[in-house]
Amino acid sequence: MTPPNWLRAARWLCALLFSSLALAASAALCWGQLPLSGPARKELQRQGHEQDFYDPQEKCPGSRKRTGEARFGQYTVRTYRYPNDAGCFEILQRGRQVHSKIGMVFQIGGSPDFAEEPANLLRIGADIRGDGTPGLIIGEWTGGAHCCLLFHVFDLGKKLRRVATIDAQHAGNSRFADVGRDGKLEFETFDYTFAYWHASFAESPAPAIILRYRNGRFRFAEELMRKPSSPEPELTARAQKLRSAPEWESLDDPPSGLWSEMLDLIYTGNAPQAWRFFDLAWPAGRKGKEEFLREFRAKLAKSPYWSDVEALNRGQVR
């Protein structure tokens, strides 16, 4: 977004006034969180400024304060942030750093959204992959607007091993839990492939998904996601209600409830009913039906879980 003229002028004047190294460090405060060089950062700290700065080049931990710590066996994991807004985490094995990463915000055990909800965070050393190996989860918020969340999965064996990184997109409420109540962990999250597609973000449907580690990656836990098909009268009633929704008249695009229902059916293994619902819900005489369905199928195929979606529906999703 382009700043207004008065703000651009103020920033230009600010930079013009602070030309020396010492003043350049202070000038960065006028501009917000700009990356600072090492000398400028040190000068800012020497002057006693408490304001945060942003420097993704600073090694971990550097000047950052410790924000979290957990231990398991020979491993120690620590997260850091502030005064550098570019946070980081490190993993130590017998006191020696064996892994580190710089980003924005990191949380031991899960999503940074759950920092104050320890019940939703996974303890260090938990068996994440289901093979008895102790593991570690580091959640990362990359700094975008309600986006994006990454979950880094590590094995804490004789040697540290990064198993996977799960891109949870906008799903800050993702978490590891024993969904099947069988002593094995699953990952509960959402597929945001349809974010902003023909709708605002708030109206964009994101079907729930449950992942389990198998065959080298996190895949759909099909037995937990699959649900019985809806009775035909119930499906017809839902479609008729949507077909009469006033949004069909007031919007250029169909109401997002249309593909929200379709996705819920597809992501529970009921793709044939999704196509049936679409036919029943689309108003008679309204143009664009076939074009919309083609676009929907093309968008669905871009899901990072597309192969899992196909398998869940036994090939009936096309």
Q: What is the pLDDT along the chain (318 residues), one digit of tens a residue?
A: 333 333 333 333 443 333 333 333 333 333 233 444 455 555 555 554 456 899 999 999 999 999 999 999 999 999 999 999 999 999 999 999 999 999 999 999 999 999 999 999 999 999 999 999 999 999 999 987 768 999 999 999 999 999 999 999 999 999 999 999 999 999 999 999 999 999 999 999 999 999 999 999 999 999 999 999 999 999 999 999 999 999 999 888 999 999 999 999 999 999 999 999 999 999 999 999 999 999 999 999 999 999 999 999 998 887
Q: Where are the domains of the chain?
A: 33-172, 191-318
The predicted structure's pLDDT at residue 40: 53
Tokens of 245: 């929704």
Alpha-carbon span 93 to 318, nearest angstrom:
48
Contact by Cβ (8 Å): 72, 125: yes
What burial class does residue 218 get, using C-beta atoms within 10 Å of its C-beta: 0-12 exposed, 13-18 middle, 19+ buried? buried
Q: Which residues contact 16 (CB under 8 A, 6 or more apart)?
A: none
List the one residue out of 228, 244, 234, 232 whose CA is nearest residue 281. 244
The predicted structure's pLDDT at residue 47: 53
Alpha-carbon span 261 to 273, nearest angstrom:
10
The predicted structure's pLDDT at residue 172: 93
124 — phi, psi (to 5°)?
A: -65, 140
Q: Which residues contact 244 (CB under 8 A, 6 or more apart)?
A: none
Alpha-carbon span 86 to 41, nearest angstrom:
13
DSSP class per residue in the chain: -PPPHHHHHHHHHHHHH--SHHHHHHHHHHH-S-B--HHHHHHHHHTT--S-BB-TTSPSSTTPEEEEEEEETTEEEEEEESSBSS-EEEEEETTEEEEEEESSEEEETS-GGGTT-GGGSPPTT-BSSSSS-BEEEEEEEEEETTEEEEEEEEEESSSEEEEEEEEEET-TT-EEE-TTSSS--EEEEE--TTTTSSS-TTT----EEEEEEETTEEEE-HHHH--PPPPHHHHHHHHHHHHT-THHHH-SSPPTHHHHHHHHHHTTT-HHHHHHHHHHHSPTT-S-HHHHHHHHHHHHTTSTTHHHHHHHTTTTT-
Tokens of 214: 């198998």
Domain covering 33-172 assigned CATH 2.40.128 in the classification: yes
The predicted structure's pLDDT at residue 27: 33
187 — phi, psi (to 5°)?
A: -115, 115
Interhelix angle 271-281/232-243, rounded to 10 degrees, is 40
Alpha-carbon span 255 to 155, nearest angstrom:
45
Q: Across the strands, what pairs with 166?
A: 151
Whole-model pTM: value is 0.82
Q: Which residues contact 15 (CB under 8 A, 6 or more apart)?
A: 27, 30, 31
